[in-house]
């Protein structure tokens, strides 16, 4: 039987139709700006989300990095969540490569950064301090779609304090699906947005950074500096275009399956379902049973991310169907038993 891989939505494989689109894509040299499919992707996404320009890059980490470097200079700082991807899971790139100081802010339970905490973190204009220049949010954050009212409040704060406003929107389309609005509405108010195509949208690789023409011009230089210039990238861009055209509406299926997964696991004894948000389910397992559970699930051809912490995250995606959810619940059930 096929392996049920719930470790992340990054494990998705391109569909046959996506592979055919990649094979047929016209290509050129993107460093010269001559790849027609790359240009089409950048223009399509920028138009859909309401930005002047876009830049196709290999990864979301690079997209966030060059976005921060395009906004900030050496000795500047950005306000960011203490558990945000750009701060915690991207190798410290802004500090290491951009000489940009991160100022981590504690997350609220809904993923927001309290406006009062942000206000207190803005540095005075004084040579002793890094210059506070940018606020970076993440949506979704651990599967949570940030409250829409909060996004308006955060934008107002950024404008009031003269800060640029960046969104790590790796799963922006999941957030829009949860809100029941267009991605354009979910991205409104930000100066730059990074969108990932290799997660729930199912492309094999690639992200797009969106912003003003001037910002994208600066980011393009930083893409080259950080080794991200690529040549006939149109085959990869074609996968992203296919995802935009065919894989956005179906994200609702992933969310519904995450609900069913959480419901199925909630009846088991010996573990606790902590939360379900968009396409993610978080369960708590006794630490002393983690390794045995991992071995049991692997024997049942179910993969989940199990480490040394009691919280286990599972992520639904386009390679997980209804039968896969049932098999995953059954595998957990044969290990823990029912209440």
Q: Per the structure block, which two tokens stand in for 213?
A: 């023409």
Q: What is the largest CA-CA distance in the chain?
A: 63
Residue extents of the structural domains in the chain: 10-246, 250-336
Residue 279: its pLDDT value, please? 98
Distance in angstroms (rounded) separating the CA atoms of residues 189 and 72: 19
Residues β-bridged to residue 164 = 134
pLDDT tens, 189-221? Answer: 999 999 999 999 999 999 999 999 999 999 999
pLDDT tens digits, 307-335:
888 999 999 999 999 999 999 999 999 99
pLDDT more than 70, % of the chain: 99
Mean pLDDT of the chain: 96
Helix (H, G, I), strand (E, B) or coil at 5: strand
Per-residue pLDDT tens over the stretch 112-125: 999 999 999 999 99
pLDDT at position 338 is 56
- Give the domain 250-336 fold: 3.90.1150
What pLDDT shows up at residue 308? Answer: 81
CATH number for the domain running over 10-246: 3.40.640.10
pLDDT for res 121 = 98
Long-range contacts made by residues 257-260, C-beta under 8 angstroms, separation at least 24?
257/316, 257/320, 257/321, 257/322, 257/325, 258/314, 258/315, 258/316, 260/322, 260/325
Tell me what percent of the residues of the chain surpass a pLDDT of 90: 96
- As a whole number, mean pLDDT of residues 16-34 equals 97
User: What's the token pair of residue 278?
Assistant: 């968009």
Per-residue model confidence (pLDDT) at position 296 = 96
Distance between CA atoms of 317 and 143, rounded to whole angstroms?
A: 13
Q: How many CA atoms lie within 13 A of 235 on its CB side?
A: 10
> In the predicted model, is pLDDT for residue 339 greater than 60?
no
- To the question of pTM greater than 0.75 for the whole model, the response is yes
pLDDT at 309: 84
Give me the mean pLDDT over the 11-22 stretch.
97
Burial class from Cβ neighbours inside 10 Å (0-12, 13-18, 19+) for residue 95 reads middle
Residues 6+ apart with CB under 8 A from 158: 135, 164, 165
């Amino acid at each position: 039987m096929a392996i049920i891989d719930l470790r992340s939505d990054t494990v998705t494989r391109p569909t046959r139709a996506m592979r055919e689109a990649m094979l047929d894509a016209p290509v050129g040299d993107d460093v010269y700006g001559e790849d027609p499919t790359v240009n089409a992707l950048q223009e399509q996404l920028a138009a859909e989300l309401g930005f002047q320009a876009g830049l196709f890059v290999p990864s979301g980490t690079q997209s966030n990095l060059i976005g921060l470097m395009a906004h900030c200079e050496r000795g500047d700082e950005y306000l960011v969540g203490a558990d945000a991807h750009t701060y915690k899971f991207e190798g410290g790139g802004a500090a290491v490569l951009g000489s940009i100081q991160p100022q981590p802010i504690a997350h609220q339970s809904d993923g927001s950064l309290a406006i009062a905490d942000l206000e207190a973190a803005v540095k005075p204009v004084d040579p002793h301090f890094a210059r506070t220049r940018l606020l970076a949010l993440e949506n979704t954050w651990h599967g949570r779609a940030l409250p829409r009212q909060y996004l308006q409040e955060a934008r107002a704060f950024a404008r009031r304090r003269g800060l640029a406003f960046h969104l790590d929107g790796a799963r922006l389309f999941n957030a829009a699906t949860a809100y029941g609005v267009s991605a354009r509405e979910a991205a409104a108010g930000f100066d730059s947005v990074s969108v990932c195509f290799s997660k729930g949208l199912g492309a094999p690789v690639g992200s797009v950074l969106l912003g003003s023409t001037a910002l994208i011009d600066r980011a393009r230089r930083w893409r080259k500096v950080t080794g991200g210039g690529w040549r006939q990238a149109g085959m990869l861009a074609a996968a992203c275009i296919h995802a935009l055209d065919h894989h956005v509406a179906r994200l609702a299926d992933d969310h519904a399956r995450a609900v069913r997964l959480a419901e199925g696991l909630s009846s088991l004894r010996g573990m606790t379902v902590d939360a379900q948000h968009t396409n993610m389910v978080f369960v708590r397992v006794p630490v002393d049973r983690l390794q045995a559970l991992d071995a049991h699930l692997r024997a049942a051809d179910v993969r989940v991310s199990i480490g040394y912490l009691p919280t286990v995250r599972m992520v639904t995606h386009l390679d997980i169907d209804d039968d896969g959810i049932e098999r995953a619940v059954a595998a957990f059930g044969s290990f823990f038993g029912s209440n």
